[in-house]
C-alpha cells in the first residue's frame, strides 16, 4: 500500500474545481466516457500492431448507478493501468491538466462560456463526487490497482484482486449533486454528449422480442385461432450509434441513408431536408461532417435544431459561431474535427488560422454543391429556390467569394414564375427595358396582390416584372447595382408611373396648357394632405389612370435597408411619403379642371384620390367608410 500527497501547489484544488465549473458540472461524464473510449481504442491499436497479447472481444463501456450506495460507475474494457501508471497518469499527469486549468481560470475573468469545452479530464469527477475510486487492471501481466481519493490532496494506492482487464471509476456522489444518481439525468447526458461515441456504451438493459422465438398459433375446438405472446429477452441497452453516417464514405451512402441520419439527429423534426452536403477533408486540417439545407419553417421550435460540433464523435457544442460562416448557421447537421481548438476563447477562435480555413472550406463546399445542383437539375433547383433563397442571398451579401460563385446560380423569379439567372435576365430585358439615357431598368414587385395594377401596367408594355420578396433583397439589389457598370438599376413597379420608370423618347403631348396646369395644381393640392403627398402633374397616356400613388425607389429602399440593418442613417424613422401622380391627359382630370361647381369638383378629386389609395392598399377606417358611402351615392 502506498499513501501519498498529490503534488499540489494550491492548498485544496477540488473545491476550486467545483466553484469554477459551477454551471458545467455535467461535463464530468463526457470526460470520463472519453477516457474510457480512449483506453479502448488505444488497446485496439496495441492489439493490431502486436503489442498487446489479448482479445478485445466486444469491448464496451458500462455506466451504472447504485442508488443505495450513492455511486455512479464508469467501467471500460480498455488497456487499464498498472500501479506505476496510476502513479504517473493519475497522480501526476491528470493533475497537471487540472492545475493548468485552474491557472487559466482562477481569476474568473476568462470567457466562462468556454469552460465546458476545456478538457479538464479525470479530475472533473470531483465536481460531483466527494470520493473517487479507481479499480484498474492493465492488459500487461501485472497486479490490479485500487486508488482512492476523497477530494483532498491525499490519496491511497493499493494492490487489488480485480482480475478482468480494464478500468472502473466509482464516483461517490456528493450530497449536492444527487441528480447524477437519477437514471433520467444520466441517460439525458449520454444522449447529449455520447450518442455517436466510437465505443458502445451500455446503460442498463432493455426488453426486446426474442428473434429466435416464432410465436405458435393454436386453433381450439371451435376453430378459433389464438397466437401465443412473443417471448421477450433482456439485452444490453446500448445507447449509442458507433458508426454515424458522417464517418462513412459518401460513395457508400444512398440518399435514404442521409435522410435516416437527419431523422436520427433531429428526432423531433418531421420535415425532411432539401439536400445535404457531405464534408470530408484531411488536409490542411481534418474535418468530416454532413450539412443539411432545411426547409424553412415558421415553427420556431424547429429552428432551434442547430449544427452540432463534435470532436472525434463526442458532442462539444451546438454553438458553431466563428467556425461556420454566419450565413450558413441556418443549416443543420454535424461537423466533426479533432483540429478545432476547444479550450480557447471565442475571440481567439475567430482569429485562429485553422478555423478561418475551415470556415472558408465550408463556404466553398456549399457553393460547389449548389452550383452542381443547379447545373444537374435546374427544374428541381427552381422548386427549392423559395426555401433556400434567404441563405444564398445572405451569403452573397456577406462573403465576396460566395457572391462570385452564386452569381451564376442565384435566381430571380418573375411574377409569372419564370426563373432567370442575373445574366439571363440582363440578356432578356436589355433591349426592351433600357431607357433613353441608356439605363437598364429591372422592374420588380414585392407583393403580387398589393401591386397588381402596377404589375399589369408594366406587363402591358411587354416588360418583365420580378417577384422579389426576401427581407434582405434591397441590400442585394444595391450590391448588384454597384458591382456592375452602374447602368443596371432596380425599380419597384409602383415607384412611379411606368412611362417614367423606363422613359423612352416618345413624349406624349400634353392636352393641358401650362396655364391650365398652373390652375389645376392648387385645386388638387387643397384636397390632399400636403405633409404626406406631393402632387406631381404628368402628361401620360390618356388610357393610364388619372390618379396614381407612387413611392420613389430611393426613399423606399433606404427605409427598407434601415429596417434590416444598413441603408442611410436615420432613414428608417422617416414618416411615409408618397407622390400623387396626376395624369393631365385623362378626361377626368379635364373635367375636374373645367367643373364650375366647387362641391362637384371636390367630390371628383376625393373619389379619384381614394381609388388611387385603394390600389396601393392605403384606404382604411373612416376614409374607407366615406368612400363606400360616396360610391353608393354615385350609382343611385
Ligand X SMILES: Nc1ncnc2c1ncn2[C@@H]1O[C@H](COP(=O)(O)OP(=O)(O)OP(=O)(O)O)[C@@H](O)[C@H]1O
Q: Is 93 in the site for ligand X (CB under 6 A)?
A: yes
Is residue 164 near ligand X by the rule CB under 6 A?
no
Whole-angstrom Cα distance, residue 274 to residue 80?
Answer: 46
For residues 166 and 294, which CB has a smaller minimum distance to ligand X in the complex? 166
Which range binds ligand X by CB under 6 A, 114-122, 154-162, 189-197, 458-466?
114-122
Contact, 291 vs 327, CB < 8 A? no
Asked if residue 167 binds ligand X (CB under 6 A), the reply is yes
Task: Tell me which H or E stretch contains 3.
Answer: strand 2-5
Quick check: 582 and 605 in contact, CB under 8 A? no
Given the complex with ligand X, which of 35 and 433 has the nearer CB atom?
Answer: 35
| Half-sphere exposure in the Cβ direction for 332 (13 Å, CA) | 26
**Which residue lies nearer to ligand X by CB, 25 or 369?**
25
CA 195, CA 94: separation in Å to the nearest integer? 26
CA 63 – CA 35 distance, rounded (Å): 13
Residues 39, 366, 502, 544: which binds ligand X (CB under 6 A)?
39
Nearer to ligand X, 118 or 394 (CB): 118
Q: What span, in angstroms and rounded, lies between the C-alpha atoms of 419 and 327?
A: 23
| Site membership for ligand X, residue 488 (CB under 6 A) | no
Of 118-126, 151-159, 505-513, 619-627: span binding ligand X (CB under 6 A)? 118-126
**Cβ–Cβ < 8 Å for 76, 36:** yes
Binding mask 398-427 vs ligand X (x if CB under 6 A, - otherwise)? ------------------------------
Per CB under 6 A, does 140 bind ligand X?
Answer: no
Minimum CB distance to ligand X, residue 65 (Å):
18
167 marked ligand binding residue = yes
Distance CA 29, CA 122 (A): 10
Phi, psi of 161 (to 5 degrees): -95, 15
Which of 27, 33, 81, 391 touches ligand X (CB under 6 A)?
81
Per CB under 6 A, does 97 bind ligand X? yes
**Residue 552-581 contact track with ligand X, rule CB under 6 A, x = bound:** ------------------------------
Give me the least distance between CB of 69 and ligand X, in Å please.
20
Rounded to a whole number of angstroms, the minimum distance from the CB of residue 383 to ligand X is 47
Binding mask 60-79 for ligand X (x = CB under 6 A): ----------------x-xx
> Binding residue per annotation — 346?
yes
Task: Give min distance, CB of 59 to ligand X, in A.
Answer: 12
d(CA 258, CA 292): 9
- Determine the size of the site formed for ligand X (CB under 6 A): 18
The DSSP line for 536-587 is: EEE---TTS-SEEEE--HHHHHHHHHHHTS-SSTTGGGSPP-EEEEEETTSH
* DSSP E strand boundaries for 144-250: 144-149, 154-160, 166-173, 201-209, 217-219, 225-227, 232-238
Q: Does 584 bind ligand X (CB under 6 A)?
A: no
Q: Is 263 annotated in some ligand binding site? A: no
For ligand X, the closer of residues 35 and 247 by Cβ is 35
Residue 2 has a CB neighbour count (10 Å cut-off) of 14
C-beta of 34 vs 550, nearer to ligand X: 34
Is the Cβ–Cβ distance between 240 and 63 less than 8 Å?
A: no
Under rule CB under 6 A, residue 340 binds ligand X: no
Buried-exposed string 540-563: b where 16+ CB fall within 10 A, e elsewhere: beeebbbbbbbbbbebbbbbbbbe
Which of residues 121, 151, 289, 325 is near ligand X by CB under 6 A? 121
Which residues define the annotated binding site? 31, 35, 76, 81, 96-97, 167, 346
Query: Which residues carry a binding-site annotation for ATP?
Result: 31, 35, 76, 81, 96-97, 167, 346
Using CB under 6 A, list all residues that contact ligand X.
31, 35-36, 39, 76, 78-81, 89-90, 93-94, 97, 119, 121-122, 167
Amino acid at each position: 500500500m502506498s499513501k501519498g500527497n498529490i503534488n499540489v501547489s494550491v492548498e485544496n484544488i477540488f473545491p476550486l474545481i467545483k466553484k469554477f465549473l459551477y454551471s458545467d458540472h455535467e461535463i464530468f461524464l463526457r470526460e470520463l466516457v472519453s477516457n474510457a473510449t480512449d483506453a479502448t481504442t488505444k488497446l485496439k491499436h496495441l492489439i493490431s500492431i502486436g503489442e498487446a497479447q489479448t482479445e478485445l472481444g466486444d469491448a464496451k463501456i458500462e455506466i451504472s448507478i447504485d442508488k443505495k450506495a450513492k455511486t455512479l460507475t464508469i467501467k471500460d474494457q480498455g488497456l487499464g493501468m498498472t500501479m506505476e501508471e496510476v502513479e504517473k497518469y493519475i497522480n501526476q499527469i491528470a493533475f497537471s491538466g487540472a492545475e493548468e486549468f485552474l491557472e487559466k481560470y482562477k481569476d474568473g475573468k476568462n470567457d466562462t462560456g468556454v469552460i465546458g469545452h476545456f478538457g479538464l479530464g479525470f479530475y472533473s469527477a470531483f465536481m460531483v463526487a466527494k470520493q473517487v475510486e479507481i479499480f484498474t487492471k492493465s492488459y500487461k501481466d501485472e497486479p490490479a490497482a485500487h486508488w482512492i481519493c476523497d477530494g483532498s490532496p491525499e490519496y491511497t494506492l493499493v494492490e487489488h484482486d480485480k482480475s478482468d482487464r480494464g478500468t472502473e471509476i466509482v464516483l461517490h456522489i456528493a450530497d449536492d449533486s444527487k441528480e447524477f444518481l437519477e437514471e433520467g439525468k444520466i441517460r439525458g447526458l449520454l444522449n447529449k454528449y455520447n450518442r455517436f461515441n466510437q465505443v458502445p456504451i451500455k446503460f442498463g438493459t432493455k426488453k426486446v422480442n426474442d428473434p429466435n422465438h416464432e410465436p405458435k398459433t393454436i386453433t381450439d375446438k371451435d376453430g378459433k385461432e389464438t397466437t401465443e405472446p412473443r417471448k421477450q429477452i433482456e439485452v444490453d441497452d446500448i445507447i449509442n450509434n458507433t458508426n454515424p453516417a458522417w464517418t462513412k464514405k459518401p460513395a457508400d451512402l444512398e440518399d435514404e441513408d442521409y435522410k435516416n441520419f437527419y431523422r436520427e439527429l433531429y428526432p423531433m423534426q418531421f420535415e425532411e431536408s432539401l439536400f445535404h452536403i457531405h464534408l470530408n477533408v484531411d488536409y490542411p486540417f481534418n474535418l468530416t461532417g454532413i450539412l443539411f439545407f432545411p426547409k424553412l419553417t415558421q415553427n420556431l421550435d424547429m429552428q432551434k435544431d442547430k449544427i452540432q460540433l463534435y470532436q472525434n464523435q463526442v458532442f462539444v457544442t451546438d454553438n458553431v459561431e466563428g467556425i461556420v460562416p454566419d450565413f450558413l448557421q441556418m443549416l443543420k447537421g454535424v461537423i466533426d474535427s479533432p483540429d478545432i481548438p476547444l479550450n480557447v476563447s471565442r475571440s481567439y477562435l475567430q482569429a485562429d488560422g485553422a478555423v478561418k480555413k475551415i470556415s472558408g472550406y465550408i463556404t466553398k463546399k456549399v457553393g460547389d454543391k449548389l452550383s452542381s445542383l443547379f447545373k444537374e437539375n435546374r427544374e428541381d433547383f427552381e422548386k427549392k429556390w423559395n426555401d433556400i433563397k434567404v441563405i444564398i442571398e445572405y451569403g452573397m451579401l456577406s462573403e465576396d467569394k460566395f457572391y462570385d460563385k452564386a452569381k451564376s446560380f442565384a435566381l430571380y423569379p418573375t411574377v409569372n414564375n419564370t426563373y432567370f439567372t442575373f445574366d439571363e435576365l440582363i440578356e432578356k430585358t436589355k433591349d426592351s427595358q433600357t431607357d433613353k439615357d441608356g439605363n437598364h431598368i429591372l422592374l420588380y414587385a414585392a407583393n403580387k396582390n398589393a401591386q397588381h395594377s402596377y404589375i399589369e401596367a408594366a406587363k402591358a408594355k411587354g416588360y418583365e416584372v420580378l417577384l422579389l420578396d426576401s427581407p434582405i433583397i434591397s441590400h442585394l439589389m444595391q450590391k448588384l447595382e454597384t458591382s456592375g457598370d452602374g447602368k443596371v438599376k432596380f425599380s419597384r413597379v409602383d415607384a412611379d408611373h411606368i412611362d417614367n420608370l423606363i422613359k423612352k423618347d416618345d413624349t406624349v403631348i400634353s392636352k393641358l396648357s401650362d396655364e391650365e396646369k398652373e390652375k389645376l395644381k392648387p385645386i388638387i393640392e387643397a384636397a390632399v394632405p400636403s405633409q404626406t403627398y406631393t402632387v406631381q402633374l404628368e402628361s401620360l397616356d390618356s388610357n393610364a389612370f388619372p390618379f396614381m400613388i407612387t413611392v420613389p425607389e430611393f426613399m423606399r429602399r433606404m427605409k427598407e435597408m434601415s429596417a434590416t440593418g444598413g441603408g442611410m442613417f436615420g432613414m428608417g424613422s422617416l414618416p411615409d411619403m408618397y407622390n400623387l401622380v396626376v395624369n393631365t391627359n385623362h378626361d377626368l382630370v379635364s373635367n375636374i379642371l373645367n367643373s364650375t361647381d366647387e362641391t362637384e369638383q371636390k367630390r371628383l378629386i376625393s373619389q379619384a384620390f381614394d381609388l388611387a389609395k385603394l390600389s396601393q392598399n392605403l384606404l382604411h377606417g373612416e376614409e374607407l367608410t366615406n368612400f363606400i358611402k360616396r360610391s353608393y351615392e354615385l350609382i343611385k
